[in-house]
């Protein structure tokens, strides 16, 4: 009984110790034409995992230029006319990383971007557990379950992001199609009205010319 009591007491502490330390930010930003915007994340230890995700939700062709710079101003990643990105890289330098978006290719359309930045430390067992040695065989299944749950939650999150992006793009396509149909209908109506007026004018001229003719008997 005392052993089981110690196990049940130490399991919550072990669970907290196994959880990775994650700092994240989920944001939405709007970039005007010819605008550049940067966001920053701090890495306090070399070797930490840095995750970066973004998706262009609206504007133009749904693309944007981006680049990631290290604290020493070295380019970590960069790309042009990207619609969506989901990457994880290792922060080898301690300091502030810059994540920048550039809307230079657009002169009229503003872009709405959904993105998040995560800084994740590797899981490490540093809690002061005096009886941790007793939990070796009990902690292994718990650690596996936590890792599987984390992977499943990450997959669900990516699936939700995927559907959200395509929902916004589909809505934009429908709205653009509706606008085109409206203008096509207006132009078609104007053409029909113009042809009708032209036909009426032509017929009137033909009858007016015919009525002014004189014939000898």
Select the more confidently predicted residue: 132 or 43.
Answer: 43
Residue 6 has pLDDT above 50, yes or no: no
Euclidean distance between the first and the last CA atom of the chain, given in angstroms as a whole number: 135
Predicted pLDDT at 8? 45
Asked if residue 69 belongs to a domain, the reply is yes
pLDDT in tens, 107-128: 888 898 989 898 876 454 444 5
Q: CATH number of the domain that 37 lies in?
A: 2.60.120.680
Report CA-CA distances (Å) from 119 to 62, 87, 105.
Answer: 27, 12, 30
Whether 136 is in a domain gets the answer yes
Asked if 77 and 87 touch (Cβ cutoff 8 Å), the reply is yes
Position with higher pLDDT, 66 vs 215: 66
In a domain, 192, yes or no: no
What's the structural domain count of the chain? Answer: 1
pTM: 0.59
- The confidence score (pLDDT) of residue 19 equals 43
Structure-token match 């005096």, residue found: 130
Q: Which of 39-53, 168-182, 187-201 has the lowest mean pLDDT?
A: 168-182
Residue 210 confidence class, pLDDT cut points 50, 70, 90: low
Contact status, residue 52 vs residue 101, Cβ threshold 8 Å: no
For the stretch 154-191, pLDDT in tens is 778 777 777 777 777 777 778 778 888 888 889 989 99
Read off φ and ψ for residue 63, nearest 5 degrees. -135, 160
What local confidence, expressed as pLDDT, does residue 216 receive? 58
Residue 212 within a domain? no
Mean pLDDT of 78-103: 92
Q: Locate tokens 């290290």: which residue?
A: 70
Residue 148, CA distances (Å) to 18, 159, 199 in order: 13, 17, 76
Query: Which phi and psi angles does 101 have, rounded to 5°?
Result: -115, 140
H or E element, residue 157 = helix 136-211
Query: For residue 68, what pLDDT is reported?
Result: 95
What does the pLDDT read at residue 131? 52
Arithmetic mean of pLDDT, 198-207: 83
Mean pLDDT computed over 43-49 = 90
Looking at residue 39, the DSSP 8-state letter turns out to be E
pLDDT on residue 61: 83
Q: Which pLDDT score is estimated for 132? A: 52
**Residue 93 — pLDDT band, cuts 50, 70, 90?**
very high
Structural domain contains residue 82: yes
Decide which of 24 and 119 is more confident: 119
Residue 105 lies in a domain: yes
Domain presence at residue 16: yes
Q: 215 lies in a domain?
A: no
The whole domain housing 91 covers: 2-169
Asked whether the predicted pLDDT for residue 67 surpasses 70, the reply is yes
117 neighbors 86 (Cβ within 8 angstroms): no
């Amino acid at each position: 009984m005392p052993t089981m009591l110690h196990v049940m007491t130490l399991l919550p502490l072990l669970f907290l110790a196994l959880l990775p330390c994650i700092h994240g930010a989920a944001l939405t930003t709007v970039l005007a034409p010819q605008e550049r915007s940067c966001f920053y994340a701090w890495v306090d230890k070399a070797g930490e995992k840095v995750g970066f995700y973004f998706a262009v939700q609206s504007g133009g062709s749904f693309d944007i230029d981006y680049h990631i710079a290290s604290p020493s101003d070295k380019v970590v990643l960069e790309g042009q006319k990207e619609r969506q990105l989901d990457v994880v890289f290792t922060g080898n330098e301690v300091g502030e990383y810059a994540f920048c978006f550039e809307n230079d290719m657009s002169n009229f359309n503003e872009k709405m971007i959904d993105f998040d930045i995560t800084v994740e430390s590797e899981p490490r067992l540093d809690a002061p557990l005096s009886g941790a040695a007793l939990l070796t065989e009990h902690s292994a299944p718990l650690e596996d379950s936590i890792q599987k749950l984390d992977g499943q939650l990450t997959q669900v999150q990516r699936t939700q992001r995927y559907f959200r992006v395509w929902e916004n793009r589909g809505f934009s396509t429908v709205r653009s199609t509706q606008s085109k149909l409206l203008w096509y209908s207006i132009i078609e109506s104007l053409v029909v009205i113009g042809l009708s007026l032209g036909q009426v004018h032509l017929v009137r001229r033909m009858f007016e010319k015919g009525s002014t003719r004189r014939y000898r008997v």
